[in-house]
Amino acid sequence: MNNRIKLPLLLTVLLFAVLGFAQPKPKADLLKIVDNALIGASNQYKFLMTQVPAGVLPKTYLATKKLETSSSTWWTSGFYPGSLLYLNENANDAAILKEALSRQSLLTKEQFNKGTHDLGFMMFCSFGNSNRLAPSKEYNEILMNSAKSLASRFNAVTGCIKSWDHGSWKFPVIIDNMMNLELLFWATKNSGDSSYYKIAVTHANTTLKNHYREDHSSFHVVDYDPTTGKVLGKQTHQGYSDPSAWARGQAWGLYGYTVMYRATKDKKYLKQANDIAQFMINHPSVPADKIFYWDFNTPDIPATYRDASAAAITASALLELCKYTDAKNSAVYFAFSEQVIRALASKTYTAPIGTNGGFILKHSVGNLPSNSEVDTPLTYADYYYIEAMMRYKAMAK
């Protein structure tokens, strides 16, 4: 009788493990580190709040000891209010929430901005988080208008949403654009209009076909002929060279295809996310602390720059992906994320409160080939680091 009970139970446990249901559990010591890091992040952002002039959003802190800001039209504009919303979610701080909502309001007009593909970054990291935490008709309307504006950039011939309106490209699509599709999935779920869903899937499928190499690394930019859909060229505009693997670009793709699987449950997206993760984790250039060099193939490794932003995005993505994949990969992804969080929380990457212009993390790279934001703090590095820590904490519940 007992044997009949134990065998099915054992098979069930094994099945759950194979299917990835036996998710890893956070470590007590790292949870303590994360709790302290989030407290420190809140205190650092309270300092940052005193440094940012009215009517603008923070971008970075330059080596000249100058805070660089942007208007609401810049692609990073949603990360500062988004980070504040996460920090308030963690600690329920009235001053932080007030600042989040005040700065978020600057982005309201961007819901009608059809001149950018970055509305997912801008509006979903800000108003999307606000709507998740405190749903409202106003937020719904802003997000729906944002999705409509983003969808207006879709070209059925190319099968993609256009990225840039500048440069010599005809119809450039960058891997970063995978991060903006989550807004479209939300729009279909919220409205019942499947057109947004179809655009997101079509864009992801075209990107899967044309951006990725045999080793599962990604180009940065693919340029299309908007009248024929033909691929005109493939480049890695912000990386070391066209054939190289720009670190943040790989992270954008990993995060984006993880979201694609969450939204569609299509296993080809899960496979793609796993393939990207394996490329990144197992690459011979990955340093011991798991904070990637700015490009996987730059020949001056190890005497080159790290990119904390790429590592933070990757850690956050892997903490979600480990919930969907098989038990073996789940354990690997979880452990890698833990190593990244430990490193980012260390003195090497976390700035003392009151320094670094008020940003949390040091040592990110924006666009090295253009000598822009090299070895500086970046607002999106902070955002995805905070998100990764929040995801880690949630997995302990």
Catalytic-role residue among 93, 118, 295, 382: 118
Structure tokens at 94: 């009235």
Q: What is the CA angle 89-39-122, rounded to 5? A: 50
Q: pLDDT under 70 in the chain at which residues?
A: 1-21
pLDDT of residue 397: 87
pLDDT of residue 23: 83
Q: Quickly count: other Cβ atoms within 10 Å of residue 29's Cβ.
A: 9
Tens of pLDDT, residue by residue over 305-335, are 999 999 999 999 999 999 999 999 999 999 9
Q: Which residue has the tokens 């670190």?
A: 247
Identify residue 132 by its one-letter amino acid code.
R
Cα(87)–Cα(81) distance, integer angstroms = 10
pLDDT of residue 21: 53
Residue 295 is among the residues annotated as catalytic for this protein: no
Catalytic-role residue among 176, 223, 295, 307: 176
Cα(281)–Cα(290) distance, integer angstroms = 8
Residue 242 is among the residues annotated as catalytic for this protein: no
